[in-house]
Amino acid sequence: MDKLRIGIIGLGTVASGVYKTLQDINNIEIIKIAVKNINKPRSVSVPKDMLTDNAYEVVNNPDIDVVVELIGGVEPAWDYISAAIKNGKHIVTANKELLAKKGEELFNLTEKHNRVCLYEAAIAGGIPIIMPIKTILAGNRIHKIQAILNGTTNYILTKMDVDGASYEDVLKEAQELGYAETNPTGDVEGFDAAYKITTLATIAFKKRVKIENVYREGITKIRKEDMAQANELGYKIKLIANATIDENGNADVRVHPMLISKDTTLAHINYVTNAVAMSGYPIGDIVLSGPGAGEFPTASSVVGDILAIQAEFGKTDYMLPMMRCHHEHKANPVNINDTYNKYYISITAPNAIGVIAKIGTICANKNISLASIMQKEVYENSTADIVVITEKCQERLIKEVVEELDNCTVNSLIRVAE
């Protein structure tokens, strides 16, 4: 059998893992690898004549069947990928941002040129999720996803919980250990998870979700006090990528911190581990968990995609039909203000008679029921911490409550998972 000939764009952590893994696979041949700097010291030994600093030597090479894009970002990755497709090449990518922002254009282009684009590594690293949804779970109507899709934020929140440390202290430690970037904005502000849930929801719901309709909120305002209070109440705080869709195609897709019951699997997904929980019919509830990043876990997904193409290459005129995207209909976006949630509210208020009653009255005037309200520590300046858990209510109403809490400081407002 002829070997499948591939070119790789990028030779960072994941690409190095892909290169190492492919050395043990006989029916794959690496033709060319594009890098920024050919002379840069690397953890992997690659023949120098295999390297180029011109990515177009990969995408325009007539001897290459598949282009593996592992540089991330929209540009110049999109230029390389689109050129490769027009040159008749199949694509394997781990680029979650490009998929979220240009997915529709990408899959329309691949279909026009009868190519395939596989992207298992772009959503949850080494966790197999896209191919199972497209194949084994294809007969299901999935209506809910709750997922931990970012290892950096999960590491930070876990350390805050276990060590009782502040966000700032744990972030610094995570950066020193290499779990967080020098500029961690993409992770801690929820961008990374938002890109991933955009594509995951699109695939699971079989309706296109637009990144601009995904609500996003990061973890930078989570306090160690919130961690302690959540534990007392029977919860853990996690950055959750959440997506639901109703029978009318209304999709509520968002990323934000949530209080997760300790009785659930997601509450016990710690450090850099990722997990995806899905609910559907007829499968019911399932959870897939594993390493969401890293050299070899992510390389595992990339290589799996390459081998999926290799298995059908040259045998059919229409390769991997189940893995292609045919999203003719868009999901109807649900605005976060129109959603209904339970809420955890941490308030610092004057330690005076009637304050708790006032909070209760403001909520009652908005038809918001309280599941619990507790006064915590009283400080020397005659203020006290009050923790409120609401029943389910509309987001816009809870924001009105916050605005009406005169003489009070709202420290945290965090949604509570059902």
- Tell me the per-residue pLDDT of 110-154, one tens digit each, with 9 for 90 and over: 999 999 999 999 999 999 999 999 999 999 999 999 999 999 999
Average pLDDT, stretch 361-388? 92
- Note the pLDDT of residue 378: 84
Categorize the per-residue pLDDT at 248 as very low, low, confident or very high, splitting at 50, 70 and 90: very high
Q: Is the predicted pLDDT of residue 299 greater than 80, yes or no?
A: yes
- Note the pLDDT of residue 325: 87
Q: What tokens does 44 get?
A: 């992997």
Please provide the CATH number assigned to the domain covering 339-416: 3.30.70.260
Write the DSSP assignment of 128-188 as a string of letters: --HHHHHTTTTT-EEEEEEEE--HHHHHHHHHHHHH---HHHHHHHHHHHTSS-SS-HHHH
Q: Is the predicted pLDDT of residue 1 greater than 60, yes or no?
A: no
* Candidate from 75-79, 131-135, 192-196, 376-380 with smallest mean pLDDT: 376-380
**Is it true that domain 130-291 has CATH number 3.30.360.10?**
yes
Q: Please confirm, yes or no, whether 196 is among the known catalytic residues.
A: yes
Q: How far apart are CA 284 and CA 18, in angstroms?
A: 35
* Candidate from 50-59, 288-297, 321-330 with smallest mean pLDDT: 321-330
State the first-to-last Cα distance of the chain, in angstroms, to the nearest integer: 53
Q: Which of 89, 102, 134, 196 is catalytic?
A: 196
Q: pLDDT (tens digit, 9 = 90+) per residue, 270-285? A: 999 999 999 999 999 9
Domain boundaries, the chain: 4-125+295-323, 130-291, 339-416
Q: How far apart are CA 272 and CA 274, in angstroms?
A: 7
Q: Which of 3.40.50.12780, 1.10.760.10, 3.40.50.720, 3.30.465.10 would CATH assign to domain 4-125+295-323?
A: 3.40.50.720
Average pLDDT, stretch 309-337? 93
- Note the pLDDT of residue 417: 96
Q: Is the predicted pLDDT of residue 328 greater than 80, yes or no?
A: no
User: Model's pTM, two decimal places?
Assistant: 0.96
- Note the pLDDT of residue 380: 84
Q: Do 4-125+295-323 and 130-291 have matching folds?
A: no
Closest CA to 232 of 254, 270, 256, 262: 262
